[in-house]
A and B are shown apart, each in its own frame.
Chain A
Amino acid sequence: MKSLVCLKQVPDTETQIKVNADGSGIVTDGIKYVINPYDEFSVEEALKLKEKFKAGEVVVLSIGPDRCVEAIRTALAMGADRGVHVCDEAVNNGDPFVMAQTLAAASGNIEYDIIFCGHRAIDDDFAETGAMLAELLKIPQITLVTKIEVSADKKTITCERDIEGGKETVESPLPCVVSSQKGLNEPRYASLPGIMKAKKKPVDKKTFADLGLTPDAKLVSKNFSMPGSRQAGQKFEGMEPQEVAKTVVQALRSEAKVI
Chain B
Amino acid sequence: MTDKFVSIRNLRFLLHEVLNIENLTQFDHYSDHSRETFDLALDTAHKIARNLLLPSLQEMDKNQPTFEKGIVHVHPVVKEFIQECGKGGWIAANASYEADGQQLPFSVTTACHFIFGAANYSASVYPLLMYGAAHLIESFGSDQLKREFIPSIFSGKWQGTMALTEPQAGSSLGDIQTQAIPTDENHFLIKGQKIFISAGDHDAVENVVHLMLARIKGAPSGVKGVSLFVVPKKRRDESGNLSPNDVNVSALYHKLGYRGAPIVQLSMGENGDCHGYLVGDPNKGLSYMFQMMNEARLAVGVGAAAIASAAYYASLEYTKERRQGRRLFDKDPDSEPIRIIDHSDVRRMLLFQRSIVEGSLSLVLQCCLYSDMAGVTTGDQKSKFSLLLDLLTPAAKTYPSEMGVMSVSQGLQCLGGYGFCDEFPLEQFYRDIRIHPIHEGSTGIQGLDLLGRKVVMHDSKAFVLFLDEVCSTISVACEIPDLKPYAEKLQHEINALREVTYGLMMLASSGHNEDYLEDSTLYLELFGIIAVAWQWLKQGIAATKQLERKLSQSDQDFYIGKIMTMKYFFLYELIKTYGLIERLSEEDGLTANFDDKFFAD
Contacts and interface: CB of A to CB of B under 8 A. Distances in A.
B103 to A, nearest CB: 9
Interface stretch (A41-49, A93-101, A156-164, A186-194): A186-194
A195 B33 CA distance: 10
A192 B34 contact: no
B482 interface: no
A189 B34 contact: no
A73 B87 contact: no
Contacts of B41: 192, 195
A191 B43 contact: no
A29 interface: yes
B47 interface: yes
Interface string A57-101: 000000000000010011001000000000000000000000000
A191 B89 contact: yes
Contacts, number: 53
Contacts of A30: 552-555
Nearest to A199: B37
A224 B44 CA distance: 32
A191 B92 CA distance: 11
Given A191-B88, A192-B88, A74 B552 contact: no
B44 A190 contact: yes
A196 B32 contact: yes
B47 A189 contact: yes
A138 to B, nearest CB: 38
A252 B490 CA distance: 66
B3 interface: yes
B102 A189 contact: no
A198 B34 CA distance: 12
A198 B40 contact: yes
A191 B36 contact: no
Contact of B104 (A32, A73, A192): A192
A29 B40 contact: no
B144 interface: no
Contacts of B90: 192
Contacts of B8: 32
B239 interface: no
A14 interface: yes
Contacts of A195: 37, 40-41, 44
B44 A77 contact: yes
B341 interface: no
Contacts of A189: 44, 47-48, 84, 88
Interface in B2-48: 2-4, 8, 32-34, 36-37, 40-41, 43-44, 47-48
Interface string B60-95: 000000000000000000000000100111100100
Contacts of B43: 74
Contacts of A74: 40, 43-44
Nearest to B109: A192
A77 B88 CA distance: 11
A190 B2 CA distance: 25
B13 to A, nearest CB: 14
B447 to A, nearest CB: 37
Nearest to B553: A29
A196 B101 CA distance: 11
Contacts of B552: 29-30
A193 B47 contact: no
A148 B36 CA distance: 34
Interface string B539-563: 0000000000000111100000000
Interface in A164-198: 189-193, 195-196, 198
Contact of A199 (B34, B48, B89): B34
Nearest to B102: A192
Nearest to B104: A192
Nearest to B552: A29
A180 B43 CA distance: 24
Contacts of A73: 36, 40
Nearest to A200: B32
A193 B102 CA distance: 7
B89 A193 contact: yes
Interface string A182-220: 000000011111011011000000000000000000000
Contacts of A191: 87-89
A187 B2 CA distance: 23
B594 to A, nearest CB: 54
A189 B51 CA distance: 10
A236 B93 CA distance: 61
Contacts of B104: 192
Contacts of B33: 196
B523 to A, nearest CB: 40
Nearest to B100: A193
Among B2, B41, B93, the most chain A Cβ lie within 10 Å of the Cβ of: B41
A192 B86 CA distance: 10
A13 B47 CA distance: 12
A191 B32 CA distance: 16
B326 to A, nearest CB: 20
A82 B476 CA distance: 45
Nearest to B86: A191
A25 B317 CA distance: 27
B248 to A, nearest CB: 36
Contacts of B48: 189
A195 B103 CA distance: 12
Contact of A29 (B4, B36, B93, B554): B554
Contacts of B4: 14
A74 B553 CA distance: 27
Q: Which 3 A-B pairs have the closest CB atoms?
A: A30-B554, A192-B89, A191-B88
10 contacts: A29-B553, A29-B554, A30-B555, A189-B47, A189-B84, A190-B88, A192-B88, A192-B104, A195-B37, A196-B37
Given A189-B88, A195-B40, 5 more contacts: A73-B40, A191-B88, A193-B89, A196-B32, A199-B34
